[in-house]
Structure 1
Amino acid sequence: MAANGQSKEYRERDLPLYLAARFLSEAAALALSVAVGWTVYDVLHTPLALGIAGLAQFVPMFLLTLPAGELCDRISPRQVLIAGLALQGLCSIAFLLWATSPSPPLWPFFAIVPVLGVARAFADPAGQALLPLLVPDERLPCAIACGSSAWQVAVIAGPALGGLAFAYGPAVAYGICGSGVLAAMLGVVQLGGWRPPPAEGADLKKRVDRVVEGIVFIWSRPVVLGAISLDLFAVLLGGATALLPVYARDILHVGPIGLGLMRSAPAVGACLVALLQVRHPPERRVGEKLFAAVAVFGIATLIFAFSRSLVLSLSALFVLGASDMVSVNIRTSLVQLATPDAMLGRVSAVNLLFIGASSELGAFESGVVAALMGTVPAVAFGGFGTLVVMAVWMRIFPALRRADRLKSEVR
């Protein structure tokens, strides 16, 4: 039963449509990320430039993700998602026009990057808030695992496709990315099923109060707060992905195709784990499993930092992605099972602000540290920092460490 008293009506085709759209949008977005990262490093030859590109996306995401979540609750997550995907498609077209221009200056390229951050600030929380509205509550953990699988398959295919396409030229890569995002948008347009009715309009003060409600909701649940903040610092410190163009070009010497393979390797591990979790979702001792996964994530990051073999590097990235998938599934289930339908947008926005935007801030942190210390020490510092955070969080969030079952821990 919906929070407003209306019964939910579901359509069987909505979940497959959602999964297909999620796959297309994420594959295109990650292919675009590979193309942007290689373009930036190929032109400027400094890891600091990769950090600046990450910061340029982080700032609009930091400013707009929470208002976007409130907008999802006030109108409809589907409408917000369509708008975000449309803006991502326009960014891909703009990159394409830049790449096909003769001797283009770099400043228009960097002007497009923050617009891409704006698009993600709206699309990401809307995508998370939409899924619980498409399936009954009893099917939600399985639907989350299916969504994670679709996302991880996209993370395998997207970077590999981006690296391969970039080998044929940046225009090919940017053109493919734009086509994928626009196709995903058309899929979202076809979604039906139950939707919460649009909320009444509110003045600015009430909208701010509604945003604060999402923050207070998470703050009042130590298990949820601990899980989200743990992932925040793990993603912030474990920023090996941001420096992969440096490893591909200057350390492992494997070019854009090798970069695509390395960007895909974590998703291969994550996808296999996600598929296992569809059949065998975590049911007992979820807190211990969460902390163990973060510890493995930090160790895999350390191994990757010092590797000089492509095979070993891909293996470390594989394990890194597999461990991250365990923590992502537990955290996402904790958050979405705990959240009433009327607050899904705002709570998803807070969750994504902690986790999603921290990827870009982590890219900036990695770029700055790499510029000061060198690339390998920067990645190693992130892996060691993740292990330290894991140990500290076990002490300050004992309820999370002792968490047993997902459904019994979210209240």
Structure 2
Amino acid sequence: MDIPVKERDSVLRHPGYLNFAASRVFSSLSFQAVGIAMGWMIYDQTHSAFALALVGFCQFLPMAVLTFVVGHVADRFDRRRIGLACQLIEAVTALVLAVATWQQWLSPVGILVAVTIMGAVVAFERPTMAALLPNIVPTSMLQRAVATSTSLMQTALIIGPSLGGLLYGVSPVAPFAVAAVLFAVASFNVISIRMEWLPSKREPVTLTSIFAGVSFIRSRPVMLGTISLDLFAVLLGGATALLPMFARDILHAGPWGLGLLRAAPAIGALAMSIVLARRPLTSDVGRKMMVAVAVFGVATIVFSLSTNIALSVIALLVVGASDTVSVVVRSSLVQLLTPDEMRGRVNAVNSLFIGTSNQLGEFESGMVAGVVGPVVAGIAGGVGTIVVVFLWTRFFPDLLKVKTLQG
């Protein structure tokens, strides 16, 4: 059933949510633009694929190391102030990069140091902002808020890299300078957020409380099943990491084709998140999530078998759209099933799962493709994803019983 326009639009009209969305979008745009510029610059200086691999490693390592610290900090302090501190540090880092580029000081080591700083800050920012959302909108609006936030973030993921590339073409200094300004705008918005309620008193720091997020997730089969399903689906079905190989060796499409293939999953995700913002899932959400992950696997197989650029793009559109259903359901369930005093720690663990699946998924796909080729690797990943869905229906039967995301 369609959501009335007045009720649907109330998410964007909510003062706190508007500031929240603006903060996340401006921060994401800036991060994407800086990431493209730093990747291009380090490769231009080194001509080394290993240097590019180090960029990804330096982004992931701080998240892996800081996860449990991040969660506890997010549950003990005002999340708006944490977001403010993160975005101000990002603004200063981008400004330093702009000056260093202008003065031609920036070396590969300097770029990797900046990447590590940004990775550490993002490790705090992302789970903290995710934990903040339920404090801004009422529970009845949470699914629409998550879907709307997802659509805005997907838009940033589409525009951010292009913005970074275009600005770098104007001047190597430009992406860093513009990002510094946008991070500052994001920080103004995050501190301006009006909350529905203030966080309750936080528990003291102990070893048990630090790892409470892991214990909480393990004790709730629905949450554990949802997060682990996404982890293994992305780990196995990461054919998108092989896009350069498909574009050049199989589709013979050239750089323009690679750009089109890279954009397709984000466009599909954006389209589906808009649909879910207008028509939230109101029944059998667990079953629909399972079906969506299975469709993700099928679309991955179709993409891997395709030798036609149009069919490949369509398959990737479906990959992005089906993944978004899983993202919205997982994000909503994590927020609804977690008490406010635990949201920082639970979201930090969830963020680690997502980051691990993305990074290890790319590594796994690349290693398998190096042995058996990209087509077989992609097919195997898609089949593996479908097998995981069938196994999860047996291991986590309660997932199929989840009917609603209304809390």
TM > 0.5 fold call: yes
Return the alpha-carbon distance in structure 2 between the equivalents of residues 392 and 181 of structure 1.
Answer: 43
| Cα gap change, 1:33 to 1:395, in 2 (>3 Å) | farther
Deviation digits for residues 271-323 of structure 1 (CA, Å, limit 9, x no counterpart): 22112112221122212211111122223333444555554443332211111
Deviation digits for residues 215-242 of structure 1 (CA, Å, limit 9, x no counterpart): 2221111111100011112223333444
Deviation, structure 1 residue 113 = 2.1
Return the alpha-carbon distance in structure 2 between the equivalents of residues 111 and 103 of structure 1.
Answer: 13
Task: Tell me the equivalent position of 1:22.
Answer: 24
The CA RMSD over aligned residues, in Å, is 3.1
Return the alpha-carbon distance in structure 2 between the equivalents of residues 307 and 98 of structure 1.
Answer: 45
Task: Tell me the equivalent position of 1:8.
Answer: none
Deviation, structure 1 residue 51 = 4.1
Deviation, structure 1 residue 47 = 5.8
| Cα gap change, 1:90 to 1:260, in 2 (>3 Å) | farther
Contact 1:41 1:50 in 2 (8 A): yes
Larger mean CA deviation between 53-62 and 319-328 belongs to: 53-62
Alignment partner of 1:58 out of 57, 60, 70: 60
Deviation, structure 1 residue 378 = 4.7
- Aligned: 1:210 with 2:212: no
Q: Which amino acid aligns with 2:66?
A: L
Return the alpha-carbon distance in structure 1 between the equivalents of residues 54 and 384 of structure 2.
Answer: 22
Alignment partner of 2:185 out of 183, 186, 189: 183
| Cα gap change, 1:334 to 1:112, in 2 (>3 Å) | same
Return the alpha-carbon distance in structure 2 between the equivalents of residues 104 and 246 of structure 1.
Answer: 31
Task: Tell me the equivalent position of 2:138.
Answer: 136
Return the alpha-carbon distance in structure 1 between the equivalents of residues 384 and 48 of structure 2.
Answer: 23
Deviation, structure 1 residue 404 = 2.7
Q: Which amino acid aligns with 1:122?
A: F
Q: Which amino acid aligns with 1:19?
A: A
Q: How does 1:238-249 map onto structure 2 within 5 Å?
A: 238-244=237-243
Deviation digits for residues 351-406 of structure 1 (CA, Å, limit 9, x no counterpart): 11111343233334444445555555554544343233223222211221343333
Return the alpha-carbon distance in structure 2 between the equivalents of residues 306 and 179 of structure 1.
Answer: 44
Deviation, structure 1 residue 118 = 0.5
Deviation, structure 1 residue 65 = 2.3
Return the alpha-carbon distance in structure 2 between the equivalents of residues 262 and 174 of structure 1.
Answer: 26
Q: Which amino acid aligns with 1:14?
A: G
Return the alpha-carbon distance in structure 1 between the equivalents of residues 181 and 373 of structure 2.
Answer: 37
Task: Tell me the equivalent position of 2:386.
Answer: 387
Deviation, structure 1 residue 246 = 5.8
Secondary structure (helix, strand or coil) at the match of 1:17 reads helix
Task: Tell me the equivalent position of 2:402.
Answer: 403
Larger mean CA deviation between 317-326 and 104-113 belongs to: 104-113
- Aligned: 1:127 with 2:129: yes
Task: Tell me the equivalent position of 2:164.
Answer: 162
For these two proteins, the number of residue pairs brought into alignment is: 394
Secondary structure (helix, strand or coil) at the match of 1:284 reads coil
| Cα gap change, 1:345 to 1:161, in 2 (>3 Å) | same
Return the alpha-carbon distance in structure 2 between the equivalents of residues 266 and 96 of structure 1.
Answer: 31
Q: How does 1:187-266 map onto structure 2 within 5 Å?
A: 187-194=189-196, 196-197=198-199, 199=201, 202-203=204-205, 206=206, 208-244=207-243, 254-255=254-255, 261-266=260-265
| Cα gap change, 1:166 to 1:377, in 2 (>3 Å) | farther
| Cα gap change, 1:100 to 1:360, in 2 (>3 Å) | farther
Secondary structure (helix, strand or coil) at the match of 1:283 reads coil
Task: Tell me the equivalent position of 2:153.
Answer: 151
Q: What percentage of aligned pairs have identical amino acids?
A: 42
Deviation digits for residues 127-174 of structure 1 (CA, Å, limit 9, x no counterpart): 101110011222222222221222122222223323443444544334
Q: Which amino acid aligns with 1:297?
A: F
Contact 1:51 1:363 in 2 (8 A): no
Larger mean CA deviation between 151-160 and 162-171 belongs to: 162-171
| Cα gap change, 1:269 to 1:383, in 2 (>3 Å) | same
Structure 1, unmatched stretches of 5+, are 1-10
Structure 2, unmatched stretches of 5+, are 1-12
Secondary structure (helix, strand or coil) at the match of 2:319 reads helix
Secondary structure (helix, strand or coil) at the match of 1:404 reads coil
Task: Tell me the equivalent position of 1:79.
Answer: 81
Contact 1:66 1:353 in 2 (8 A): no
Larger mean CA deviation between 348-357 and 101-110 belongs to: 101-110
Q: Which amino acid aligns with 2:85?
A: A
Task: Tell me the equivalent position of 2:271.
Answer: 272
Task: Tell me the equivalent position of 1:332.
Answer: 331
Task: Tell me the equivalent position of 1:109.
Answer: 111
Return the alpha-carbon distance in structure 1 between the equivalents of residues 55 and 351 of structure 2.
Answer: 19
Q: Which amino acid aligns with 2:339?
A: P
Deviation, structure 1 residue 71 = 0.7
Secondary structure (helix, strand or coil) at the match of 1:187 reads helix
Q: Which amino acid aligns with 1:27?
A: L
When the two structures are superposed, what TM-score results if normalisation uses the length of structure 1? 0.83
Return the alpha-carbon distance in structure 1 between the equivalents of residues 376 and 93 of structure 2.
Answer: 34
- Aligned: 1:347 with 2:346: yes
Larger mean CA deviation between 284-293 and 385-394 belongs to: 385-394
Task: Tell me the equivalent position of 2:3.
Answer: none
